[in-house]
């Protein structure tokens, strides 16, 4: 019975509270019209500085990433050349070894020096791998009109 009375009184209580709140709604306004206090200006300035720092930080990070990617790198060049020619890990390792024996500045240099793949130019340590070196030379230095 009490529960049914509470259910019946709930809409009436809500209406009374809403009406009293409606009547007092303007009591909190000071009447100064939308003047900003120093606290408001501090928050606005802080938000503007934070947004500015965020934009600056993102632009610096983006430009550094771009600079890093555009900087010449012998290691990246070698990796791209190997990928372009479809070389597997063993062939890449052989190129690195051959570059070491040839005292090349970078293994990528071997892509421009076919004379290093000649049997007479191979160091004694790579003579037993002469067949692999010849096959690698055939991949890298294809005759014009040949497959490649």
User: pLDDT per residue over 54-113, tens digit each?
Assistant: 998 888 877 766 655 667 888 889 999 999 999 999 999 999 999 998 898 999 999 998
Structure letter (DSSP) for residue 87: -
Report how far Cα 19 is from the mean position of its chain's Cα atoms.
58
Average pLDDT over residues 34-39: 69
* Inter-residue contact 146 to 119 (CB < 8 Å): no
pTM, 2 dp = 0.50
Q: pLDDT value at position 21? A: 61
Q: How many CB atoms lie within 10 A of CB 85?
A: 16
Q: pLDDT value at position 148? A: 47
pLDDT band at 26 (very low <50, low <70, confident <90, very high): low
* Inter-residue contact 77 to 108 (CB < 8 Å): yes
- Rounded CA-CA distance 85/91 in Å is 11
Q: pLDDT value at position 61? A: 78
């Amino acid at each position: 019975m009490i529960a049914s009375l509470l259910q019946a009184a709930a809409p009436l209580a809500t209406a009374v509270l809403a009406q009293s709140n409606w009547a007092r709604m303007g009591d909190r306004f000071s009447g100064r019209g939308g003047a900003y206090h120093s606290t408001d200006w501090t928050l606005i300035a802080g938000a503007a500085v934070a947004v500015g720092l965020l934009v600056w930080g993102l632009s610096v990070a983006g430009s550094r990433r771009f600079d890093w990617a555009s900087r010449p790198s012998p290691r990246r060049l070698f990796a791209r050349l190997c990928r372009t020619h479809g070389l597997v890990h063993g062939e890449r390792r052989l190129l690195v070894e051959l570059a070491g024996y040839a005292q090349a500045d970078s293994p990528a240099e071997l892509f421009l020096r076919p004379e290093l793949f000649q049997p007479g130019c191979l160091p004694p340590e790579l003579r037993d791998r002469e067949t692999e070196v010849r096959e690698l030379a055939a991949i890298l230095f294809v005759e014009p009109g040949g497959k490649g």
